[in-house]
Amino acid sequence: MGLIVQKFGGSSVKDTERIFNVARIVTETYSKGNNVVVVVSAQGDTTDDLIAKAAEINPNPSKREMDVLLSTGEQISISLLAMAIEKMGFPVISLTGWQAGFKTNSNYSNARIRRIESERLQVELDKKNIVIVAGFQGINRYDDITTLGRGGSDTSAVALAASLHADLCQIYTDVDGVYTADPRIVKDAVKLDEISFDEMLELATLGAQVLHNRSVEMAKKYNVKLEVLSSLEDKPGTQVKEVIKMEKMLIKGVACDDDVARVAIIGLPDQPGIAFKIFSSLAKRKINVDIILQSIGRDNTKDISFTVPMSQKDAALICLEEEKELFKAQRVEMDDTVAKVSIVGAGMQSNPGVAAKMFEALFEADINIRMISTSEIKISVLIDKSQSRRALVAVHNAFDF
């Protein structure tokens, strides 16, 4: 008995059959005596259909109007799911983002949640209603509709769980948990029973694509107990929480990200402020920089290289070419034939053997390492994109999962 927030993505509510599947999960949870709040995304392709409609009219609409349009997708889902639950004879009510009290900033299409005014929601829970909430959306201080951008519905669910002090936030997906590697590529990948927030964050960033990192960051900040599980199979998933028992295995997973390009700025003067200038120029243009490496200088010059998502490589190049004079760089290079393979696990830094084991596995698979970057809980290498799947399998096999 407690308060459980359950989140279902677009594929989980894509048609009538799937909607009733979700209704079954929700009502079973409710029947066990729990209060249940459900967060849903727009059905299957609804969002893409709406985007196509808009594009036909205006290829560059204002983000405000786009949010008015897109937020209808979740509004359709919440009402349909509520109707399915009504059909099954349970008390239920749907609430849009604004009805559920989601207050955001005004950054249309990528808004941040400022607070949730959950009085209405609490009233409905007190009435023993199952409450269905539209994910991905809120309103700003002017009462204008906003959407939360990528990973928005996960973030809505975690924010609700934090605000309502829920006992558990369950994220239902089409996989049954978090794996030590992508099970579609690595046959021996093992499902994890639990993982820490920090490890999950590294895995999310590294392309494990199970949970968006915004939602994991928020879960960590408010200590919301998360569970990732399948909406199609009735079995336990992966718990994501703050503290993991020490006797658990060191390496939590191996991830691979092909969507990456490496940019290098060669021959920078070895003087203070250069890195600041470069990365603030990139930040101003909203270019997401991932791994940053700075080489030791030679002839009073140094090189800085970093990775960006493939979609931003051209923007990054244009930015750097334009500002090259300002940075006093000799030249800019770009390499989009790379992939990033990473291992993630707490306490890695105090176990130097881990890095060696990873590098050995790559060497034995005859894969050349082009760049290395390490943090407290992860080791990432850049390799040739064409070798990424093979690298993932080799590294995964090297560790005992």
Helix (H) / strand (E) containing 65:
helix 63-87
Among 102, 226, 211, smallest CA distance to 161 is for 226
Count of C-beta atoms within a 10 Å radius of residue 270: 12
166 makes contact with a second copy (CB under 8 A): no
Annotate each residue in 110-149 with x if it binds a second copy (CB under 8 A) or - if it does not, as one string: ----------x----------------------xxx----
- Ramachandran category for residue 177: left, alpha or beta (phi over 0 → left; psi -120 to 50 → alpha): left
CB of 385 to a second copy, least distance (A): 38
26 makes contact with a second copy (CB under 8 A): no
Q: Which is nearer to a second copy, 82 or 256 (CB)?
A: 82
Q: Which is nearer to a second copy, 69 or 365 (CB)?
A: 69
58 makes contact with a second copy (CB under 8 A): yes
Figure out which of the listed residues 2, 28, 31, 87 binds a second copy, where binding follows CB under 8 A: 87
Q: Which is nearer to a second copy, 3 or 83 (CB)?
A: 83
Q: Which residues pair with 334 in a beta bridge?
A: 263
248: its two tokens: 């658990």
- The site for a second copy, by CB under 8 A, has a size of 37
Amino acid (1-letter code) at residue 178: V
45 makes contact with a second copy (CB under 8 A): no
Stretch that binds a second copy, among 88-96, 213-221, 317-325, 379-387 (CB under 8 A): 88-96
78 makes contact with a second copy (CB under 8 A): yes
Count of C-beta atoms within a 10 Å radius of residue 235: 9
Annotate each residue in 338-357 with x if it binds a second copy (CB under 8 A) or - if it does not, as one string: --------------------
**Following DSSP, what letter does each residue of 91-130 receive, concatenated?**
-EEEE-TTTTTEEE-S-TTS--EEEE--HHHHHHHHTT-E
52 makes contact with a second copy (CB under 8 A): no
Rounded Cα distance between 37 and 92, Å, is 10
11 makes contact with a second copy (CB under 8 A): no
Rounded Cα distance between 44 and 8, Å, is 11
**Does residue 238 contact residue 195 with C-beta atoms inside 8 Å?**
yes
Q: Which is nearer to a second copy, 66 or 358 (CB)?
A: 66
User: How much is the CA Rg of the chain, to the nearest whole Å?
Assistant: 23
20 makes contact with a second copy (CB under 8 A): yes
Rounded Cα distance between 318 and 265, Å, is 13
Q: Which is nearer to a second copy, 63 or 277 (CB)?
A: 63
Q: Which is nearer to a second copy, 69 or 289 (CB)?
A: 69
75 makes contact with a second copy (CB under 8 A): yes
Residue linked to tokens 């120029």: 281
Those residues whose C-beta lies under 8 Å from the C-beta of residue 313, and which sit 6 or more positions away, are: 261, 263, 334, 336
Give me the residues that bind a second copy (CB under 8 A), please: 16, 19-20, 50, 53-54, 56-58, 61-62, 64-66, 68-69, 71-72, 75-76, 78-80, 82-84, 86-87, 93-94, 96, 98-99, 120, 143-145
